């Protein structure tokens, strides 16, 4: 038998060595990407930040999306921002072992981190320290007869809000976490933001309001008064959290985010939408000027008639957010992310049950088709899935894994990266957005309809429950005659072959549309339409772009 030469031995050694290193080198590349994309500004001249993945389930009640599970995701090559349960004041149930190993690892890697949890102002209504305060310094709604409602008021005592925030920021567990990781580049502090608040339609039931204003003011004025009342109170809450922190780096790098702390998606859907908003002549909603980020609900709720295959859908409603995002001040950083949910949580009224009754099937491929549409419509900073705190991995992970893959392929596929960064969303002028009732001035004359026409669209007048077999959109790069388009389409109900999709002012493409969605690259100069082969594996990651300047 021929003996290996010295060169042969060297090659064998190098081959063996390389076989050990790719995972660590791959992890290093992914960590670098997470660091860079989390700190990239929205108006970066090199293009938009690429998306990262997250979740609302923190693995506290059941061992589901635990910090340990998240580290395995990172090792497997997924682009995530690690997330943890927020320590709750007066609650010591979360032990150091839940946080320590993963926080210390995040510190070694210099990763951004996120804390998700309940609404912070809940303490004002349910802790006796605040609820039992005398009326003049009580932060809750006080009725004219003196009764106190467990609902915060935009006219209540502001000092209580700051004191409430300090309880969150000074939590002993949070102080310990700051010792383990004193210098994160970014901390997302995310509130569920669903605590009961005084609505503008109820202000005349509030004694503090009636002391300042006459009954019967115009609705528009009431909305403005309430919007103006929330701003200093939430600012006091955020300032209190900062004061409670001990690390100066944390105080500087923390961002306060709220679930749905943004303009509503249902603007214009029905005449009563204004009763559920704080839209004013100057602002479609005050929340984006109060919070530093929002996680908007891209949901098919199990309690309403929305679906992923009808006009009344997350795909349609999300288009309203595009208008609101354009109105954000360019100089003020705002972390815009989308929360996703398919309406399923193991209850009798689940969306999956509703689809079954309608003769439809629902699985991960249908879910991710809808999610990807929202991703490419909105291009959010994070895609954060929602599942209940007691839902287990065996039931929910098959639906989360495709979302991870949808985020990953943006990073891994060069053409997707290019269009995500700099692509211009193509408006469809052939029809207006269907939500047109009592539109605020900010929405008048602004393109809001981005779903492309197909040959399967229903004929005649559409209703909220009109079935749309295919959802398609396109992004454009370049100028005529060298334009390129990235076309994305998904068919919620079934794989649909040979669908004609019209790109305005250019052509009609004929494509086979799967339930999970697919991408096509259209080149004007070359006169070609090619399905994009997305990169699904972390092996052979494309090189990171070098930042200019």
What is the tens place of the pLDDT at every residue in 296-317? Answer: 999 999 999 999 999 999 999 9
Q: Is the pLDDT of residue 534 over 80?
A: yes
Query: What percent of the chain clears pLDDT 70, i.e. is strictly above it?
Result: 93
CA distance 165 to 162: 5
What is the DSSP secondary-structure string of 81-115?
--EEEPPPTT---S-HHHHHHHHHHHHHHT--EEE
Give 299's strand partners.
341
pLDDT at 27: 74
CA distance 405 to 423: 21
Q: Is the pLDDT of residue 444 over 50?
A: yes
Q: Side-chain half-sphere of 269: how many Cα atoms within 13 Å? A: 21
Q: Which of 362, 388, 423 is the last residue of a domain?
A: 423
Pair 331, 465 in one domain: no
Q: Which of 385, 408, 423 is the last residue of a domain?
A: 423
Question: CA dihedral in degrees (424, 414, 298, 294; nearest 10)?
Answer: -80
pTM, entire model = 0.93
Q: Is the pLDDT of residue 272 over 60?
A: yes
Q: Side-chain half-sphere of 52: how many Cα atoms within 13 Å? A: 29
> What's the number of domains the chain is made of?
2
What is the tens place of the pLDDT at every residue in 139-152? Answer: 999 999 999 999 99
* 229 is a domain residue: yes
pLDDT at 537: 77
Q: Is the pLDDT of residue 432 over 80?
A: yes
CA distance 360 to 353: 9
Q: Is the pLDDT of residue 7 over 50?
A: no
Least confident segment among 181-185, 242-246, 326-330, 361-365: 326-330
Q: What are the phi and psi torsion angles at 78 (to 5°)?
A: -100, 145
Pair 159, 49 in one domain: yes
Range of the domain at 209: 36-265+285-309+325-423
Residue 463: band (very low, low, confident or very high) from pLDDT cuts 50, 70, 90? very high
Pair 432, 365 in one domain: no
Burial of 489 (0-12, 13-18, 19+ CB in 10 A): buried
Report, in this order, helix, strand and coil percent for the chain, each rounded to 5.
40, 20, 45
Pair 464, 358 in one domain: no
* 64 is a domain residue: yes
SS3 (DSSP) at 298: strand
Enclosing H/E stretch for 259: strand 254-259
Q: Is the pLDDT of residue 37 over 60?
A: yes
Pair 381, 302 in one domain: yes
Q: Side-chain half-sphere of 252: how many Cα atoms within 13 Å? A: 7
Residue 4: band (very low, low, confident or very high) from pLDDT cuts 50, 70, 90? very low
* 23 is a domain residue: no
Pair 380, 479 in one domain: no
Pair 256, 303 in one domain: yes
Q: Is the pLDDT of residue 33 over 50?
A: yes
Pair 380, 432 in one domain: no
Residue 547: band (very low, low, confident or very high) from pLDDT cuts 50, 70, 90? low
Pair 403, 470 in one domain: no
CA distance 318 to 312: 11
Terminal Cα distance for the chain, rounded = 58
CA distance 544 to 549: 15
* 316 is a domain residue: no
Q: Is the pLDDT of residue 6 over 70?
A: no
Q: Is the pLDDT of residue 5 over 80?
A: no
Q: Is the pLDDT of residue 3 over 60?
A: no
Pair 374, 259 in one domain: yes
Pair 180, 198 in one domain: yes
Q: Copy the structure tokens of residue 25.
A: 């080198």
* 1 is a domain residue: no
What is the tens place of the pLDDT at every residue in 403-430? Answer: 999 999 999 999 999 999 999 999 999 9
Least confident segment among 9-13, 32-36, 52-56, 495-499: 9-13
Mean pLDDT value across residues 68-93: 96
């Amino acid at each position: 038998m021929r003996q290996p030469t010295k060169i042969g031995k060297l090659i064998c050694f190098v081959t063996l060595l390389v076989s050990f290193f790719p995972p660590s080198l791959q992890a290093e590349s992914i960590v670098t990407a997470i660091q860079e994309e989390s700190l990239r500004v929205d108006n970066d001249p090199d293009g938009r930040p690429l998306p990262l993945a997250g979740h609302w389930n923190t693995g506290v009640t059941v061992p589901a999306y635990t910090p340990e599970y998240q580290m395995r995701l990172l090792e497997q090559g997924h682009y995530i921002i690690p997330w943890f349960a927020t320590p709750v004041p007066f609650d010591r149930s979360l032990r150091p072992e839940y946080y320590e190993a993963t926080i210390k690892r995040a510190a070694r890697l210099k990763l951004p981190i996120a804390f998700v949890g309940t609404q912070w102002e809940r303490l004002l209504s349910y802790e006796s320290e605040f609820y039992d305060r005398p009326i003049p310094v009580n932060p809750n709604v006080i009725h004219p007869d003196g009764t106190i409602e467990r609902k915060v008021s935009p006219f209540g005592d502001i000092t209580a809000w700051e004191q409430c925030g300090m309880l969150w920021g000074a939590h002993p567990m949070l102080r310990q976490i700051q010792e383990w990781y004193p210098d994160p580049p970014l901390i997302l502090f995310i509130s569920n933001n669903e605590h009961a608040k005084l609505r503008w339609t109820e202000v005349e039931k509030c004694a503090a309001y009636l002391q300042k204003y006459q009954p019967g003011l115009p609705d528009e004025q009431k909305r403005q008064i309430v919007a103006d009342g929330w701003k200093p109170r939430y600012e006091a809450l955020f300032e209190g959290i900062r004061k409670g922190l001990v690390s100066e780096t944390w105080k500087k790098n923390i961002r306060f985010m709220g679930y749905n702390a943004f303009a509503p998606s249902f603007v214009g859907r029905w005449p009563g939408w204004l009763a559920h908003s704080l839209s004013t002549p100057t602002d479609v909603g005050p929340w984006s000027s109060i919070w530093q980020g929002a996680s908007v609900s891209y949901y098919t709720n199990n309690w309403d008639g929305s679906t992923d295959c009808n006009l009344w859908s997350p795909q349609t409603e999300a288009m309203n957010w595009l208008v609101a995002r354009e109105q954000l001040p360019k100089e003020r950083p705002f972390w815009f992310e989308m929360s996703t949910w398919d309406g399923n949580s193991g209850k009798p009224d689940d969306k999956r049950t509703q689809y079954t009754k309608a003769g439809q099937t629902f699985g991960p491929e249908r879910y991710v088709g809808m999610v990807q549409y929202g991703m490419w419509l909105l291009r959010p900073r994070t895609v954060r899935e929602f599942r209940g705190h007691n839902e287990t991995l065996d039931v929910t992970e098959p639906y989360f894994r495709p979302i991870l893959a949808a985020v990953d392929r943006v990073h891994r596929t060069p053409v997707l990266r290019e269009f995500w960064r700099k692509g211009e969303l193509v408006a469809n002028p052939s029809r207006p957005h269907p939500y047109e009732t009592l539109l605020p001035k900010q929405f008048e004359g602004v393109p809001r309809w981005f779903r492309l026409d197909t040959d399967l669209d229903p004929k005649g007048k559409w209703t909220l429950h009109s079935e749309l077999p295919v959802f398609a959109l396109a992004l454009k790069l370049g100028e005529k005659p060298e334009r390129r388009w990235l076309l994305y389409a998904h068919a919620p109900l079934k794989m649909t072959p040979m669908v004609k999709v019209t790109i305005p002012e250019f052509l009609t493409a004929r494509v086979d549309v799967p339930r999970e969605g697919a991408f096509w690259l259209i080149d004007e100069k070359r006169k070609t339409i090619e399905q994009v082969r997305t990169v699904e594996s972390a092996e052979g990651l494309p090189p990171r772009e070098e930042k200019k300047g």
